[in-house]
Structure 1
Amino acid sequence: MNTLNIFNKQALFLAALAVASLLPVSKTYAQEGLKQETIDIISTNQPKLRDAYKLNLTASLPNVDTSKPALKYQIPALNLNFMYQATPLKPLALGKDSLGNLQNNFLKLGYGNLQTPYVQAGFGSGRHEQYNYGLYVNYTGSKDSKIEDMQYSNLNVLASGAYLTSKLKFDASLAYDRNTVHYYGYDHDTANFKNKDLAQTFNQITAIVGVENRPQNDWAFTFKPDVKFILFNDSYKRTENTFIFKAPIRKQIFEDIYIGVEGVFDLSTYKVDNGKAINNNIVAIHPAVDIIKPGFVLHAGVNPTWSDNKFKLLPDIVNESHLIKKKLILSSGWISYFEKNSYRNLATKNPFLAGLSENMMNTRVEEKYTGIKGTLGSHFNYNTKFASVTWYDQPLFINDTLDTKRFITVNETMLRAFQLHAEIGYIEEEKFQARLTFDWYNYNKQETQLKPWHLPPFQGDLFAQYTIGRKFHLRADLFALSGTYYLLPNKDFNKTSGAWDMNAGAAYDIGKNFGLWVNANNIFNSHYQRYYLYPTYGFNIVGGVLIKF
Structure 2
Amino acid sequence: MVNKQNFEKAFSKQHMKASIFIVFTLLAGFAGMAQDTTIKKREVSVTSTFKPSLKEAAKININPTPPVPDTTRPRLQYIIPNQNLAFAFQPGSLKPLALQVDTGGRWNNDSYIKAGFGSLSTPYIQAGLSVGDGKTLGLNAYAKHYSSKGKLPYQDVMHTNIDLDAFVQTSKNLEWNARFGGVQEKYNKYGFQPSTLEFPKDSLNIKYQSWKGRLAFHNINRTEFGISYAPEMKIDVFNDQLSNSENNSYVNLPLTKTIGTQFEVDLALEANHATYKPEGKSTITNNFVTASPSILYKSSNVNIQAGIKPSWDNGNFKLFPNVMAVFSSADDRVSFQAGWLGYMRYSGFQYMANYNPYIWAPATTSNTWIEERYAGLKGSIGDHFSYSAKVGYNKVNNQPLYINDTLSGKSFEVINEPEMKVVNFTGELGYTVGEQFSVISNLAFNRYKLQQNDKAWGLLPLEWNTRLTVQVLKDLYVNANLYAFDGPWSLNKTGRRDLPAAMDLSAGLEFKVVNNVKLWAQFNNVFNKEYQRWNQYPTYGFNFLGGVVFSFAQKN
**TM-score bucket (shorter structure):** 0.7 to 0.9
Q: Residue 488 of structure 1 is aligned with which of 476, 492, 506?
A: 492
- 1:324 offset after TM fit, Å? 5.4
- 1:377 offset after TM fit, Å? 1.0
TM (norm. structure 1) is: 0.78
- 1:506 offset after TM fit, Å? 0.5
Match of 1:157 in 2: 162
Q: Residue 534 of structure 1 is aligned with which of 534, 537, 543?
A: 537
Identity between Structure 1 and Structure 2 (%) = 28
User: Which of these two proteins has the greater Rg computed from alpha carbons?
Assistant: 1
Quote the Cα distance in structure 1 between the aligned partners of 2:497 and 2:417: 18
Structure 1 residue runs of 5 or longer lacking an equivalent are: 1-62, 64-100
Match of 1:57 in 2: none
Quote the Cα distance in structure 2 between the aligned partners of 1:416 and 1:174: 37
Aligned positions of 1:515-534 closer than 5 A = 515-534=518-537
Give the SS at the match of 1:237. coil
- The reply on whether 1:373 has 2:382 as its aligned counterpart is no
Quote the Cα distance in structure 2 between the aligned partners of 1:188 and 1:134: 48
Quote the Cα distance in structure 1 between the aligned partners of 2:427 and 2:545: 32
- 1:384 offset after TM fit, Å? 0.4
Give the SS at the match of 1:340. strand
Give the conservation status (yes or no) of the 8 Å contact 1:434–1:463: yes
Change (3 A) 1:544 1:188: farther
Aligned positions of 1:5-24 closer than 5 A = none
- The letter of the residue matching 2:453 is Q
Match of 2:357 in 1: 351
Match of 2:333 in 1: 327
Match of 2:392 in 1: 387
- 1:438 offset after TM fit, Å? 0.3
Quote the Cα distance in structure 1 between the aligned partners of 2:301 and 2:214: 37
- The reply on whether 1:142 has 2:148 as its aligned counterpart is yes
- The letter of the residue matching 1:365 is I
Quote the Cα distance in structure 1 between the aligned partners of 2:264 and 2:423: 33
Q: Residue 399 of structure 1 is aligned with which of 390, 398, 404?
A: 404
Aligned positions of 1:260-339 closer than 5 A = 260-323=266-329, 325-339=331-345
- 1:123 offset after TM fit, Å? 1.2
Quote the Cα distance in structure 2 between the aligned partners of 1:459 and 1:325: 33
Give the conservation status (yes or no) of the 8 Å contact 1:102–1:126: no
Q: Residue 462 of structure 1 is aligned with which of 454, 459, 466?
A: 466
User: After the TM superposition, which of the residue ranges 376-385 and 217-226 deviates more from structure 2?
Assistant: 217-226
Give the conservation status (yes or no) of the 8 Å contact 1:308–1:361: no
Aligned positions of 1:168-207 closer than 5 A = 168-187=174-193, 189-207=195-213
Residues 384-433 of structure 1, C-alpha deviations (whole Å, 9 max, x = no match):
01111222222110112245211111122222232121111111111111
- 1:268 offset after TM fit, Å? 0.6
Give the conservation status (yes or no) of the 8 Å contact 1:104–1:126: no
Give the conservation status (yes or no) of the 8 Å contact 2:278–2:363: no
Match of 1:497 in 2: 500
Quote the Cα distance in structure 1 between the aligned partners of 2:332 and 2:133: 36
Quote the Cα distance in structure 2 between the aligned partners of 1:527 and 1:113: 16
Match of 2:133 in 1: 127
- The reply on whether 1:427 has 2:432 as its aligned counterpart is yes
Change (3 A) 1:324 1:387: farther
Give the conservation status (yes or no) of the 8 Å contact 2:430–2:438: yes
Give the conservation status (yes or no) of the 8 Å contact 2:400–2:415: yes
Match of 1:507 in 2: 510
Change (3 A) 1:404 1:308: farther
- 1:442 offset after TM fit, Å? 2.2
Give the SS at the match of 2:140. strand
Residues 257-292 of structure 1, C-alpha deviations (whole Å, 9 max, x = no match):
111111111111000244200111121112222211
Match of 2:450 in 1: 446
Change (3 A) 1:229 1:482: same
Higher relative contact order (CA 8 A, sep 6+): 2
Match of 1:3 in 2: none
- The letter of the residue matching 2:214 is I
Residues 80-99 of structure 1, C-alpha deviations (whole Å, 9 max, x = no match):
xxxxxxxxxxxxxxxxxxxx
- 1:120 offset after TM fit, Å? 0.3
Q: Residue 549 of structure 2 is aligned with which of 542, 546, 549?
A: 546
Aligned alpha-carbon RMSD (Å)? 2.0
Quote the Cα distance in structure 2 between the aligned partners of 1:214 and 1:323: 30
Change (3 A) 1:193 1:223: same
> Across the two proteins, how many residue pairs are aligned to each other?
447
Quote the Cα distance in structure 1 between the aligned partners of 2:258 and 2:247: 37
Residues 98-145 of structure 1, C-alpha deviations (whole Å, 9 max, x = no match):
xxx97332000011001111000011114255421122110011111x
Give the conservation status (yes or no) of the 8 Å contact 2:272–2:287: yes
Structure 2 residue runs of 5 or longer lacking an equivalent are: 1-52, 54-106
Quote the Cα distance in structure 2 between the aligned partners of 1:129 and 1:427: 29
Give the conservation status (yes or no) of the 8 Å contact 1:112–1:543: yes
Change (3 A) 1:493 1:463: same
Give the conservation status (yes or no) of the 8 Å contact 2:250–2:273: yes
- The letter of the residue matching 1:409 is V
Quote the Cα distance in structure 2 between the aligned partners of 1:173 and 1:322: 37
- 1:357 offset after TM fit, Å? 2.5
- 1:187 offset after TM fit, Å? 2.5
- The letter of the residue matching 1:538 is G
Match of 1:411 in 2: 416
- 1:321 offset after TM fit, Å? 0.8
Match of 2:48 in 1: none
Give the conservation status (yes or no) of the 8 Å contact 1:218–1:252: no
TM (norm. structure 2) is: 0.77
Quote the Cα distance in structure 2 between the aligned partners of 1:536 and 1:219: 57
Give the SS at the match of 2:372. strand
User: After the TM superposition, which of the residue ranges 322-331 and 267-276 deviates more from structure 2?
Assistant: 322-331
Aligned positions of 1:44-193 closer than 5 A = 103-127=109-133, 129-144=135-150, 146-165=151-170, 166-187=172-193, 189-193=195-199
Residues 229-272 of structure 1, C-alpha deviations (whole Å, 9 max, x = no match):
21111132211011111111112112021111111111110002
